[in-house]
Amino acid sequence: MCLPSRAEGRAPCYNLTMPILDARTFEFFSRSAEQTRRLGGRLGMLLNVGDLVCLSGDLGSGKTTLVQGMAQGWGSLDPVSSPTFILVNEYRRADGACLFHLDAYRLTNVEEAEELDFERMLECGVLVVEWPEHIQPALPAECLWVSLRYVEEEQRHLLFQSRGTRYDALLNEFRQKVVRV
């Protein structure tokens, strides 16, 4: 069964294709939302101020669920909500750093995105973007790119791809941490 969407549409079902894996790629099959959160937690604890994580995937593919874990692993003092009607949510950490959670679903042009001042966000925190395709020219080219895909009701396919040397190192650390989530 396809997932009901948060908005008017329904997420399409996909056939799984085998990705071409290399040193800059890591794939994971999640069997539950909780497992996706735990996976996000492993990633969140590795993130540094200045890191950009882009989450690409259809409605209901698990982007916000992954962010919930990331924020927890990162050490957020605030719970994560879905930012459907809020463009950017900020999750604070005790040391004053922030995890900025942007949902670009409703952004239609790059100018709107540029007004958000990503440079400032990356100076004082981590930036996580849902629907990054909507604003890609406004984002730095280097990032950890995550593609999420609905497989079945409780299953999701996650493909992590590093873009840039910082993210090669991050992906390596992450791979080592995810022995068993």
Ligand X SMILES: Nc1ncnc2c1ncn2[C@@H]1O[C@H](COP(=O)(O)OP(=O)(O)OP(=O)(O)O)[C@@H](O)[C@H]1O
Measured from the CB of residue 159, what is the shortest distance to ligand X in angstroms?
14
* Site mask for ligand X (CB under 6 A), range 111-150, x = bound: -------------------x--------------------
Give the binding site for Mg ion (CB under 5 A). 63-64, 130
> Which does residue 132 touch among Mg ion, ligand X, none (CB within 5 to 8 A, set by kind)?
none
When CB distances to ligand X are compared, the closest residue is 62
61 or 76: CB nearest ligand X: 61
Q: What is the DSSP string of 29-81?
A: EE-SHHHHHHHHHHHHTT--TT-EEEEEE-TTSSHHHHHHHHHHHHTBSS---
**65 forms part of the interface with ligand X (CB under 6 A):** yes
**72 forms part of the interface with ligand X (CB under 6 A):** no
66 or 126: CB nearest ligand X: 66
* Site mask for ligand X (CB under 6 A), range 19-48, x = bound: -----------xxxx-xx------------
* Footprint of ligand X (CB under 6 A): 6, 30-33, 35-36, 57, 59-65, 82, 130, 154-156
